[in-house]
């Protein structure tokens, strides 16, 4: 929360009038502390629209707005109550969450949206059975309520019931095929379960509908790399390159490009031409990495030494300190050669 100290000039003073406008009134010189309400509202709106999860900040700004300036917020206040309530749950502030919920219940007594918030509070208190009952009652009323269905899946996830969560999420996506958030959640669940083929499928869906999103490309490439084998490494390299095309500052993609190209070049199964091409890609990646570090005046030494070591003579991970004793990192049994 920012207080703006506006040292007024001799005759003017900045105040917020009753219609919430910033005006200049001419008055004798005084010091005025102003809470820049519109700035706080804008911040909350930005965080809402871009789905930030900076809950501590939201609680900070939101609590102030609600407690001190509720009358100046107009109809925005309800959506702010909702936003602050969810953030409060995230920060274990049940007191704040409860008071926001009460205001919303009073204003919207039969709302499913508010019922869902009540359910989320029960989840935060780990009263999962009660939360499920609430969501089930919403779904009885309105079987198409996606929010309630997703909360039920989140409960399964919180309880560690991954396979059930995956099953439910798959069923959900059969009906609601365009739900990006759900596809991404499913890809995360599959990655945690080491089911990389299915995770790749989810990411493919996401890339199709979001072709300009460099993060999906990069994640897809990481999954392919993890699956291992020459074909997957080549796909990985292509998608790391695609991610870089979409955002040339994606460091993960740059490192990923280096590692996949180097592994392909080091493979005994590739033709001389493929080897040569991949050596070129790897060299390009190294130069870009070096440049990125130098631009920030950072020592690139450790980075580049370790890169060279990471693909030296068939082993992706070598300890320099114990020469001759190579430690190979095989993630899930696939050798990266």
Partner 1 sequence: MSMGEVELSCLAYAKMYLHASQFPRCSVNGLLLSSSAAGGAVCITDCVPLLHTHLSLAPITQLALTQVDVWCSQTQQRIVGYYQANACASDSSPTPCALKIAEKIFEQCNNAVLLMIDGEKMFPGCRVPPIVMYERKDARWALKDKHTIMLRQWEETCSIVNQLFSSGDQALLVDFDSHLDDITKDWTNQKLNAKIMELVSPANGNV
Q: Of the candidates 153, 223, 261, 265, which one interacts with partner 1 according to CB under 8 A?
A: 223
Size, binding site for partner 1 by CB under 8 A: 46
- DSSP 8-class letter at 15: E
The answer to whether residue 226 forms part of the interface with partner 1 (CB under 8 A) is yes
Q: Which is nearer to partner 1, 152 or 263 (CB)?
A: 263
Which residues, 6 or more positions from 5, have their beta carbon under 8 angstroms from its beta carbon? 31, 32, 33
Residue pair 221/243 in contact (Cβ under 8 Å)? The answer is: yes
| Residue 248: C-alpha distances to residues 38, 179, 232, 289, 302 (Å) | 35, 28, 22, 11, 22
Which residues make beta-bridge pairs with 16?
A: 22
Residue 2's φ and ψ, nearest 5 degrees, are -115, 130
Q: Of the candidates 191, 202, 203, 265, which one interacts with partner 1 according to CB under 8 A?
A: 191
Q: Of the candidates 93, 256, 261, 282, which one interacts with partner 1 according to CB under 8 A?
A: 256
Region of 7-15, 58-66, 148-156, 218-226 interacting with partner 1 (CB under 8 A): 218-226
Round to whole Å and give the CA distance between 87 and 97.
8
Q: How far is the CB of 18 from partner 1 (least distance, A)?
A: 38
- Site map (CB under 8 A) of partner 1, residues 285-304, x = contact: -------xx--x-x---xx-
Helix (H, G, I), strand (E, B) or coil at 27: coil
- Burial tier of 269 (Cβ tally within 10 Å: 0-12, 13-18, 19+): exposed
The answer to whether residue 51 forms part of the interface with partner 1 (CB under 8 A) is no
Q: Of the candidates 6, 255, 267, 288, which one interacts with partner 1 according to CB under 8 A?
A: 255
Q: Which is nearer to partner 1, 201 or 293 (CB)?
A: 293
Q: Of the candidates 107, 180, 192, 287, which one interacts with partner 1 according to CB under 8 A?
A: 192
Q: How far is the CB of 232 from partner 1 (least distance, A)?
A: 11
Round to whole Å and give the CA distance between 150 and 15.
45
Structure tokens at 46: 């930005």
Structure tokens at 49: 């629209």
The answer to whether residue 318 forms part of the interface with partner 1 (CB under 8 A) is yes
Q: Which is nearer to partner 1, 45 or 252 (CB)?
A: 252
Which one, of 97, 140, 141, lies nearest residue 119 by Cα?
Answer: 97
The answer to whether residue 248 forms part of the interface with partner 1 (CB under 8 A) is no
Q: How far is the CB of 42 from partner 1 (least distance, A)?
A: 24
Round to whole Å and give the CA distance between 173 and 72.
41
Q: Of the candidates 222, 235, 243, 261, which one interacts with partner 1 according to CB under 8 A?
A: 222
Beta strands in 180-241 (DSSP E): none
Region of 24-32, 74-82, 167-175, 191-199 interacting with partner 1 (CB under 8 A): 191-199
Residue 7's φ and ψ, nearest 5 degrees, are -75, 110
Q: Of the candidates 259, 264, 266, 282, which one interacts with partner 1 according to CB under 8 A?
A: 259
Residue pair 164/157 in contact (Cβ under 8 Å)? The answer is: no
- Site map (CB under 8 A) of partner 1, residues 150-189, x = contact: --------x-x-----------------------------
Which residues make beta-bridge pairs with 3?
A: 35
Q: Which residues bind partner 1 (CB under 8 A)?
A: 53, 158, 160, 191-192, 194, 219, 221-223, 225-226, 228, 236, 251-252, 255-256, 259-260, 292-293, 296, 298, 302-303, 305-307, 309-310, 316-322, 325, 327-332, 336
């Amino acid at each position: 929360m920012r207080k703006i100290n506006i040292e007024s000039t001799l005759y003017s003073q900045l105040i917020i009038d009753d219609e919430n406008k910033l005006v200049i009134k001419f008055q004798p010189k005084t010091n005025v502390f102003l809470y820049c309400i519109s700035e706080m509202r804008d911040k909350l709106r930005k965080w809402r629209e871009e789905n930030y999860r900076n809950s501590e900040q939201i609680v900070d700004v939101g609590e102030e707005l609600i407690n001190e300036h509720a009358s100046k917020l107009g109809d925005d206040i309800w959506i702010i109550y909702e936003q602050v309530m969810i953030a409060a749950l995230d920060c274990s502030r049940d007191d704040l969450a409860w008071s926001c919920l009460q205001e919303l219940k009073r204003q919207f007594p039969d709302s499913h949206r508010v019922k869902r918030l009540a359910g989320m509070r029960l989840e935060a208190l780990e009263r999962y059975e009660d939360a499920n009952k609430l969501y089930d009652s919403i779904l009885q009323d309105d079987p198409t309520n996606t929010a309630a269905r997703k909360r039920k899946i989140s409960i399964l996830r919180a309880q560690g019931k991954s396979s059930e969560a995956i099953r439910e999420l798959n069923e959900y996506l059969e009906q609601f095929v365009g739900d990006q958030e759900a596809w991404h959640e499913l890809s995360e669940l599959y990655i945690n379960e080491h089911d990389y083929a299915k995770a790749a499928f989810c990411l493919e869906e996401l890339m199709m509908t979001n072709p300009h999103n460099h993060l999906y490309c990069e994640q897809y490439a990481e999954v392919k790399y993890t699956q291992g084998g020459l074909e997957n490494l080549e796909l990985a390299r292509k998608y790391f390159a695609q991610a870089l095309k979409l955002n040339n500052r994606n460091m993960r993609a740059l490192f990923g490009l280096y590692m996949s190209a180097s592994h392909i070049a080091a493979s005994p199964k590739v033709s001389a031409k493929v080897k040569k091409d991949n050596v070129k890609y790897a060299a390009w990646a190294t130069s870009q990495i070096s440049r990125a570090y130098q631009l920030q005046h950072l020592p690139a030494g450790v980075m580049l030494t370790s890169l060279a070591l990471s693909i030296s003579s068939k082993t992706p991970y070598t300890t320099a300190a114990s020469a001759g004793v190579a430690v190979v990192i095989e993630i899930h049994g696939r050798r990266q050669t």
